[in-house]
Chain A
Amino acid sequence: MDKNLEKGREHPLSVIINNAVKVFTELGFSVAVGPELEDIFHNFDALNVPKDHPAREMQDTFYIKGEDGKVLRTHTSSVQIRFMEEFAKSGKKPPFAIIAPGKCFRNEATDATHEMQFYQIEGLLIGEDINLANLKGVLSHFYKKMLGEDTSLRFRPSFFPFTEPSIEFDLKYKGRWLEMGGAGMVHPNVLEACGIDSKKYQGFAFGPGLERLMVIKYGMPDIRPAYHGDLRFNQI
């Protein structure tokens, strides 16, 4: 028997997730989690996504057979809601900063850049004067830590029911602008739905996909092998 037991190889997504959590931990964030099988209230209603509104279709949702009101979460934004509800109930007052890496699901055709299951990393920072420039600062810091100092960040206008202003952000990496994800200032309706005074507190949220970061970091041509249980994928 080999005494110098060789260490196993970690999945590249775990490498990315752990490093992301480390960077945010150093910035003062705490990890939060929530269920993958969610209810519509946490996945949509509390996030200011109106019923019977086209916005609800921006994300192709997996509904659950025989369980009205249940979905596979389409984003980690539901963790925001769960965290803030608990936080407000406990009687504590902001500031708070959470980071929630987690598996999400969308009912869409798979290709080299889309999978039905994928990871997002949700970030949420609420305080008295947390602003959009802080969001830019935090995201820029994060991507520099993950991909190197030679990256730059830009914002473009976007729309999410749960943020206002909403932005889409791109990253310049190795000379090319790449779409990375969505973010924005948390919509006052979302704070109020969780019992947080939106007149007094404000802050940002973001939720980029982690597969995207992984393929950019390692130059992967396709995200699908990530879920094939294939050890050839563990090269890092």
Chain B
Amino acid sequence: MKVSYNWLQNYFEEKLPEPEKIADGIIFHSFEVEETDKVGNDTIFDIKVLPDRAHDCLSHWGIAKEISAIFDLKIKEEEYKTFEPKQTELKIEVQDEKCLRYMGRIIKNIKISESPAWLKEKLEAIGQKSINNIVDAANYVMFDLGQPIHSFDLDKLTSSKLIIRNAKAGEQITTLDKKEVNLDESVLLIADEKDPLVIAGIKGGVKAEVDNSTKNIVIEVADFNPVSTRKTARKINILTDAVKRYENEISPELCEKTMHAITDLIVKVAGGEVEDIVDVYNEKQEERTVEVSVEYLNKRLGSNFTKQEIENVWQKLKFEYTEKQDNVFEIKVPVLRLDIIGPHDLAEEVIRILGYDRLEEKLPEVKCEQKANDLFTKILYARNKLLTDGYSEVMTYVFRDKGEVEVLASASDKKFLRTNIADGLKESLKLNQLNMPILDLKEIKIFEIGTVFKKGKEEMHVAFNVKKEIKEMLLDEFCKDMGDVEVAFKELINSVPKLNSEDKFNIWSVYPFISRDIAVWMPESEDPENLKKILKEYGTDLMIKEPYLFDKFTKEGRTSYAFRLVFQSYDRTLTDDEISEIMAKISHKISENSSWEIR
């Protein structure tokens, strides 16, 4: 969610810390800040509000409350104008319990116009387009408080009655962006006595659209069931900012504050006469209290926080609390904090506000029963056995173009899970055979240990090649002779080679390599290093690896050394000619030594 620094500043008398400090505070105490962008004289944060805080933090107000708690800054609570009671003709009938609360209010004789500069600026700062003063006001309040709002043109309704009901089979609605949407009985609607007006919580329709000639409006501030809103939105494939808030569940209690905020703002930017609110709120949200002790918090966190420190957290978060008995608090959970259910949730509040850096690193002192795992030990055993026999380990993809088990929703052409390792291993064998000269191997011997998937079961297999043939079998079969699992595990895990801090990976070039072999007779007594030195020196930087001694034999006082030289560039394809030139220079240099002879 995009959040404006200047907008946040409205919540505080005091000057906020610099944007970088704010971002850091949010990162270490609340949420990830994915981006901090300077835009004009404002800074825009892109904040990844965590799913469990979407209830109360998909808004500037929510983030301002976080900042207030993190930096211990006093937050200004906005005062909204109240209006004289005025009887209203508006009627609201809620027919389905998927509507948790519905507040409506008529405002008459408003004047549609462009929004004032400050309002446009605020919306544009967070990437929202300005439309007109009424639509903008509703948008602004949503991004400010987190509660979606809808407005209808009262004069376009069949009567001044709104009905919240399920759609009828075959019913249709044309949305504000002129899309025809087919509805069914699972879709909750706001309708007048004749037609659907809004897909509840998701998208408005054209029938009662507010336009430039609108004079009288109805404001909707409502709450809907998160699961059904989400399901409908997915089904008709319309994802709006309103959906994002409803599907994560927001408190029906938020409606009231929002109604006051939006009425106040509309009157400010568009004038009008305000009528009484009609509020259908059948099942009031229950107040929740959670009990938590200082001892519980410290036990769960592994900390030594004092009662005073913990009380400070409640105060910073504006939690109402009482100390029920010594060191035991009863917290009245703020209505918007739907995420706080039990004491474990309060443990998170305490540690994130006091700071995770307050935790020491303590190794646990507990002793658990230790048992070797059969499957893991067999994998270790098989791998060790194959490595010892000169086989190298590869891993290949589980996803193939055919098989018995198919995955859904994959855009890829490899939608099946492998039924064997052999197919992948064959491809690996081919690839590695082509690369043989750069692998310093006399023969390609490879294996893989992994899961294969057959209809209704998965099996752990071992596969390896014998020349061009692939042998594949069950891991259990391969490990027949492993013996006692405890003994095997201990032995194998203790012989795991130590990690070397010097080890470094070198990525290979994507350009083809060229390999050349050279064999030279040398006096038996002479060190082949002398030859290797020349090969390296005249091989130039294009020789990407040490000359590899692949053959050696002695005859009549002379030894023949056969080296393989591999040339490759990281930025181009080499030509045969340039390598021949290098080889010529090497040969020339070798021939300068009368006791050597190129075979």
Contacts and interface: CB of A to CB of B under 8 A. Distances in A.
The size bracket of the interface on A is: 35 or more
19 contacts: A8-B386, A8-B389, A8-B391, A13-B395, A21-B493, A25-B370, A52-B227, A64-B405, A65-B406, A130-B366, A131-B299, A133-B301, A165-B348, A217-B499, A227-B395, A231-B394, A231-B439, A235-B503, A236-B505
A234 B393 contact: yes
B180 interface: no
Interface stretch (B1-9, B85-93, B213-221, B354-362): B354-362
Contacts of A140: 361
Contacts of A165: 301, 344, 347-348, 351-352
Contacts of A58: 51
Contacts of B435: 230-232
Contact of A63 (B409, B425, B444): B409
- Majority secondary structure of chain A interface residues (helix, strand, loop or mixed): mixed
B503 A236 contact: yes
A219 B506 CA distance: 8
B453 interface: yes
A154 interface: yes
Interface in B19-49: 27-32
A131 to B, nearest CB: 3
A88 interface: no
Contacts of A136: 359-362
Interface of B: 27-32, 50-54, 227, 230-231, 247-248, 299-303, 342, 344-345, 347-348, 351-352, 356-357, 359-364, 366-373, 375-377, 380, 383, 386-399, 405-410, 412, 417, 424-425, 427-428, 431-432, 435, 438-439, 441-442, 444-448, 450-451, 453, 458, 493-494, 496-501, 503-508
Given A36-B458, A62-B407, A226-B395, 18 more contacts: A7-B388, A8-B388, A8-B393, A8-B447, A10-B383, A30-B373, A54-B230, A96-B369, A127-B366, A131-B299, A132-B359, A133-B303, A137-B364, A159-B53, A165-B347, A187-B344, A229-B425, A231-B439
A72 B363 contact: no
A62 B359 contact: no
A63 B386 contact: no
B372 A30 contact: yes
Nearest to B351: A165
Nearest to A234: B392
B301 A132 contact: yes
Please name the 3 residue pairs, one residue from A and one from B, whose CB atoms are nearest each other, closest first.
A229-B428, A133-B302, A131-B302
Given A21-B376, A54-B230, A8 B392 contact: yes
B499 A28 contact: no
B299 A5 contact: no
Contacts of B386: 8
A140 B362 CA distance: 9
B390 A5 contact: yes
Given A137-B364, A141-B363, A202-B300, A11 B445 contact: no
Interface string A150-165: 0001111111000011
